[in-house]
Amino acid sequence: MANETETAAFDASRLDWGKGDGLLPVIVQDADNLRVLMLGYMNREALQATLAGGRVTFYSRSKQRLWTKGESSGHVLELVSLTSDCDDDTLLVLARPHGPTCHLQRASCFPQAPAAFLSELDVLVAERERARPQGSYTTRLFEEGVRRIAQKVGEEGVETALAAVAQDENALLGESADLLYHLIVLLRARGLSLADAVAVLRQRHAAA
C-alpha cells in the first residue's frame, strides 16, 4: 500500500518536464527486496493517475496513451512510494508487484537484476506461513508454535557464539545463517517481518 503521507507530500510542480518533451523516465524497484523491475515513462497525467489510484501508471510511447501496468495481465504494480532525483527529471518508484513484471513472465525486465536475499527469504517464509506446504521444514516450525521457534533461535544463538570462539570461519558462517533464518521465522510467527526489525535499526541510526 502506498505511504499516503509521502505521496500526498510529493511536489510534482518541481519536476522538470521540459527535458523529455513532457515525459520523465521512471525506474521501478521492488519495495521489499529492492530489485530493479523495469523502466518506463510518465507524463503529468500518468503521474496523477499513479498518485490517485495507487497503481503505477505509465505513458506508453508505442500506444500513445496512459497504460496502467497489469491492466490486461493483472500483474499490477502497487505503489509504495515515489521520489525524484537530484535534477527532478527522473522518478524512482518503489512498488509491490502482483505477479511477474516482465512480459516474459520474469520477476524483472532485467534478468540479472540483483535483489536483497534476506528480503527475498522473508517473503518466502511469509508464503510458507500462509500456505503451509507439506514436507516443508518451515511449515513444521510454524505448526510447532512460537515457543519452539524461540527455542530454536536460542539454540542457534548459542551455537553461533560458540562457533565464534572455538571453530573456524565456515562453521561461524553456517551457524550465523541458521540463526538469521530462524529469527526470520520467529518474527513472522509473531506477525512481524524482517523489514519491521530493519525499520527499528533505521530509526536508531537516524537518532544516533
**Domains (range + CATH), the chain:** 4-97 (3.10.20.810), 117-207 (1.10.287.1080)
Per-residue pLDDT of the chain (208 residues; tens, 9 = 90+): 555 545 667 888 899 999 888 999 999 999 989 999 999 999 999 999 999 999 999 999 999 999 999 999 999 999 999 999 999 999 999 999 999 999 999 999 999 999 999 999 999 999 999 999 999 999 999 999 999 999 999 999 999 999 999 999 999 999 999 999 999 999 999 999 999 999 999 999 988 7
CA 46/CA 58 separation, integer angstroms: 5
Structure confidence at residue 207 (pLDDT): 84
Q: Which neighbouring-strand residues pair with 86? A: none
| pTM (two decimals) | 0.76
Q: Which neighbouring-strand residues pair with 26? A: 40, 91
Structure confidence at residue 206 (pLDDT): 85
Structure confidence at residue 2 (pLDDT): 57
Give the number of C-alpha atoms closer than 13 A to the C-alpha of residue 62, restricted to the C-beta side.
Answer: 1
For residue 12, what is its C-alpha cell?
Answer: 510534482
Question: DSSP secondary structure string, the chain?
Answer: ---HHHHHH--GGGS--TTTTT-EEEEEEETTT--EEEEEEE-HHHHHHHHHHSB-EEEETTTTEEEETTTTTS--EEEEEEEE-TTSS-EEEEEEESS-SSTTS-S-SSTT----HHHHHHHHHHHHHHH--TT-HHHHHHHH-HHHHHHHHHHHHHHHHHHHHHS-HHHHHHHHHHHHHHHHHHHHHTT--HHHHHHHHHHHHHH-
CA 53/CA 134 separation, integer angstroms: 38
Structure confidence at residue 11 (pLDDT): 83
